[in-house]
């Protein structure tokens, strides 16, 4: 059996892989010994062939998950999958008394490959294309997701929430999980279903989520955590200049706290708390210096071809050191 999962919406395709492996653990092999996950972008053809030909160990089936095979620079790695397909086809064409194939192969691909084999796999009965949601599709998915959590949402509220997280189901799913928890225990919920007023009160948005995380990492004085957050945001598709604007917003909040005007900005209580902690650690002169350095960095990124990510990491290194020390 070969299952091909591909497309740009990696959050939903990853969820599908998780569902398949959990089903295998429940129905075939609770020990997990017969599940193998392989980095298809790096595997050599010989090892991949051996992996696909191996027999189950004390179970009736094996599961092999191969990730991003079509990014492998060695084209011959694809031959092992083609041979598996041919063997599977021969088995299916034989008499019904022939035992079923004992290996379940799950090919997971980030994006859509234009290679010949990929197009062939896309036509298989068990192939599934995970496209990014269109404007009309996201609200329905939001409703279905929340239903699995025992929470209802008004269609207008679902549309409003989808607009806050365009093209980012990873961030959207995280927000939905939080909303479900809030809806079950938060006293601000006055209706049987989530409505637009609840979304405005409880939900974040795509621009603010990274700010919370980055603020927490810097407040903790951890460059490694701040750098990790930066890489996470970039991998999720957040443009570097958007992250720069978040750092600028963080500095602006610090300056407002020093001037006593932070409450007027009506920030999330979590951010206000973290900003207050940071503000107590540094002097007004330090905040001014950080802002000046940031403006120089921003100008440099917009006018030169330097590696922006490296430059931002250097700035975070300096900022984290300064904000972690006592004034």
| Domain residue spans of the chain | 2-129, 137-202, 209-324
Pick from 17-26, 36-45, 265-274: least confident: 265-274
At 17, list the tokens. Answer: 């892989």
CATH architecture of the region 137-202: Orthogonal Bundle (1.10)
Equal CATH topology for 2-129 and 209-324: no
Domain 209-324 -> CATH class: mainly alpha
pLDDT band at 186 (very low <50, low <70, confident <90, very high): low
For residue 307, what pLDDT is reported? 64
Sign of CA dihedral 161, 167, 173, 175: negative
List all residues 6 or more positions away from 322 whose beta carbon is below 8 Å from its beta carbon: 282, 286, 289, 290
Residue 98 scores a pLDDT above 50? no
How does pLDDT run across 266-309, given as a tens digit for each residue? 666 656 777 787 788 778 888 888 888 888 888 777 777 666 77
How does pLDDT run across 203-238, given as a tens digit for each residue? 654 445 555 556 655 655 555 566 666 666 666 556
Task: Please state the rounded mean pLDDT for residues 164-179.
Answer: 74
Closest CA to 172 of 195, 211, 212, 199: 199
Are 133 and 171 in contact, with CB atoms under 8 Å apart?
Answer: no
How far apart CA 327 and CA 284 sit, in angstroms, is: 9
Choices 3.90.1150.10, 3.40.50.2300, 3.60.20.10, 3.40.50.300: CATH for 2-129 = 3.40.50.300
pLDDT band at 99 (very low <50, low <70, confident <90, very high): very low
Number of alpha carbons in the 13 Å side-chain half-sphere of residue 237: 13
Closest CA to 276 of 294, 292, 293, 260: 260
């Amino acid at each position: 059996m070969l299952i091909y999962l591909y497309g740009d919406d990696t959050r939903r395709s990853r969820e599908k892989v998780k569902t398949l492996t959990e089903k295998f653990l429940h129905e075939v092999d609770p020990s997990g010994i017969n599940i193998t996950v392989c980095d298809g972008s790096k595997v050599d053809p010989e090892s991949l062939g051996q992996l696909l030909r191996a027999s189950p160990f004390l179970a009736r089936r094996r599961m092999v998950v191969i990730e991003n095979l079509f990014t492998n620079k060695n084209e011959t790695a694809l031959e092992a999958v083609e041979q598996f397909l041919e063997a599977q086809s021969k088995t299916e064409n034989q008499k019904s008394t022939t035992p079923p194939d004992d290996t379940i192969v799950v090919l997971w691909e980030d994006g859509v490959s234009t290679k010949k084999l990929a197009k062939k796999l896309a036509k298989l009965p068990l192939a599934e294309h995970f496209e990014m949601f269109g404007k009309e599709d996201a609200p329905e998915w939001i409703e279905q997701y929340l239903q699995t959590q025992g929470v209802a949402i008004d269609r207008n509220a679902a549309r409003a929430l989808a607009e806050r997280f365009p093209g980012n189901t990873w961030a959207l799913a995280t927000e939905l999980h939080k909303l479900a928890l809030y809806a079950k225990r938060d006293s601000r919920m006055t209706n049987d279903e989530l409505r637009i007023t609840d979304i405005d009160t409880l939900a974040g948005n795509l621009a603010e989520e990274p700010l919370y995380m980055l603020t927490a990492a810097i407040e903790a004085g951890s460059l490694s955590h701040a750098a990790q957050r930066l890489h996470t945001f970039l991998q999720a598709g957040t443009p570097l200049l958007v992250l720069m604007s978040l750092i600028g917003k963080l500095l602006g909040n610090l300056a407002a706290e020093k001037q006593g005007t932070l409450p007027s900005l009506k920030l999330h209580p979590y951010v206000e708390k973290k900003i207050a902690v940071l503000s107590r650690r540094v002097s007004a002169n330090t905040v001014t210096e950080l802002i000046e350095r940031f403006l120089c960095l921003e100008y440099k990124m917009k006018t030169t071809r330097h590696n922006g990510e490296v430059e931002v990491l250097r700035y975070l290194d300096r900022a984290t050191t300064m904000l972690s020390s006592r004034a």
